[in-house]
Structures are given as C-alpha cells and as structure tokens.
C-alpha cells in the first residue's frame, strides 16, 4: 500500500487479485514529522468504501503544535513548503483510525510515508509602489521616504484560507542600473487587506540609508 499527498488530499492505492469492497467508516490519521506530531487528517466522507484497484479518498485536517518540539517540526515543514523543498510526512493510524472499532483494532500502527510537495506558486506575486515621496535631508546619506505599496500574496493554504496580515516588516535594496545605492527598512507598518490576495500598506518618514560610494551611487546622486 502506498500514499501520495497532494495539496490537502492524498490517495490510497491497493492492488489485489480478486475484486472486493469493504466499508471503513470515517478515517482518522495523525501526522508526524521527524517523529514529532504536527496535526491530523480525517476523511471528508463519514463512510468510506474502498474497492479493488485504485481508490481516491479526500481528507481534510489541521496542523497543530502541542509542544515546543512539535512547533519546531511544524515550522520546518512550513518553511520547506514555502522554499521549494519536499517534506517527508508520516501518516499514522491510531486506536481511532476508523469509526468502526472492530476494524480500528486491525489497522492500529499502520504507517504511510507521504511526500508533501512544495508550494507550486510564488508566495509574493507582486509588490508595487503606488506612491513615493522623498524628504530632503542635510545628511547626504540619509533621506526620509514615505510611500504607499500594494502587495499580492498567494496563500499557501489556498484561496479559501486567506492570510490575515496586520503588520509587516520589510527590508529592501534601492537599485540603480542593477547596483545597490541604498537600503530601506520598515518595521511594523500597518497592513490593510483589500481582497483574498491583495494587501495595502502605507508608511511615512522612514529612513532610506544611501551607500554614498561607488560609481552607480555617483550617477544616481547626479
């Protein structure tokens, strides 16, 4: 028996010689990463019937951390998901693996290795400065910057689970002819959500620290 995890569903496949059907009730499995619990999944159907051949079963679930160790494990899984890496998740059948107690006793301890693929989309879809203004300064390397930006962020959990972002920290380089001429750091800027993936933020009087050296900076300053 093998399992393949895809988005929020995985598929059970079993090959047998003779056709058969069996009712499994509702299925419930715990999730582990590096032997630490990170959540659970349940079948969306209250009574799963499997047939000979391939069976596709849809699951829903929740990621949870019940200790500092499981929190670290879950953080690693999420980081892998967002940075293009695959996580090897272990799906375990416990004493409540099925709603039928007689069947549950027979599959306790069943373990499936599931490879969780990374997020298939770009997390930050776009970042656009809608407005920007520079405030002159007597210090040639420090000027004040005010700006309004629009950001499109794809939720890793899907369109039905938009991200709730209220504050943001941002550090960006100012490039001129592909060379850095300065850096802007913004901390705890308020964020307003416009739709499922679009957010808006505005900040005022933040320091733009210029490099003050190099050929690119000299051309930029002129």
- Three-state DSSP class for 151? strand
Distance CA 54, CA 71 (A): 35
Q: Is 80 helix (H, G, I), strand (E, B) or coil?
A: helix
Q: State residue 7's pLDDT score.
A: 44
Helices (H) and strands (E) in the chain, counts: 3, 15
Beta strands in 7-123 (DSSP E): 9-14, 21-25, 28-33, 36-43, 48-51, 53-57, 59-63, 87-92, 111-116
pLDDT at position 5: 41
What is the residue extent of each domain of the chain?
A: 2-116, 124-221
- pLDDT tens track of the chain, all 222 residues? 333 344 445 555 555 456 788 899 999 999 999 999 999 999 999 999 989 888 899 999 999 988 999 999 999 999 999 888 999 999 999 988 999 888 888 888 899 999 999 988 888 889 898 998 877 766 666 778 899 999 999 988 777 778 889 999 988 888 878 888 888 888 999 999 999 899 999 999 888 787 766 777 677 666
pTM over 0.75: no
Place of tokens 């509702």: 26
Distance, CA of 145 to CA of 64 (rounded, Å): 41
């Amino acid at each position: 028996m093998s399992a393949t995890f895809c988005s929020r569903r995985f598929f059970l496949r079993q090959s047998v010689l003779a056709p058969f059907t069996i009712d499994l009730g509702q299925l419930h499995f715990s999730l582990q990463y590096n032997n630490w619990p990170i959540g659970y999944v349940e079948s969306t159907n209250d009574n799963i019937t499997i047939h000979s051949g391939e069976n596709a079963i849809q699951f829903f679930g929740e990621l949870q951390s019940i200790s500092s160790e499981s929190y670290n494990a879950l953080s690693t899984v999420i980081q892998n998901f967002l940075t293009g890496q695959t996580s090897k998740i272990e799906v375990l059948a416990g004493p409540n693996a099925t709603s039928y107690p007689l069947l549950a006793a027979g599959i306790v301890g069943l373990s499936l290795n599931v490879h969780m693929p990374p997020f298939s989309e770009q997390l930050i879809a776009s970042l656009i400065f809608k407005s920007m203004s520079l405030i002159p300064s007597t210090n040639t390397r420090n000027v004040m910057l005010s700006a309004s930006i629009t950001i499109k962020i794809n939720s890793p959990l899907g369109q039905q689970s938009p991200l709730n972002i209220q504050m943001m920290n941002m550090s960006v380089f100012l490039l001129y002819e592909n060379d850095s001429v300065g850096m802007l750091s913004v901390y705890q800027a308020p964020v307003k959500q416009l739709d499922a993936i679009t957010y808006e933020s505005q900040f005022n009087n933040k320091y733009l620290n210029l490099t003050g050296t190099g050929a690119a900076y000299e051309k930029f300053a002129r």
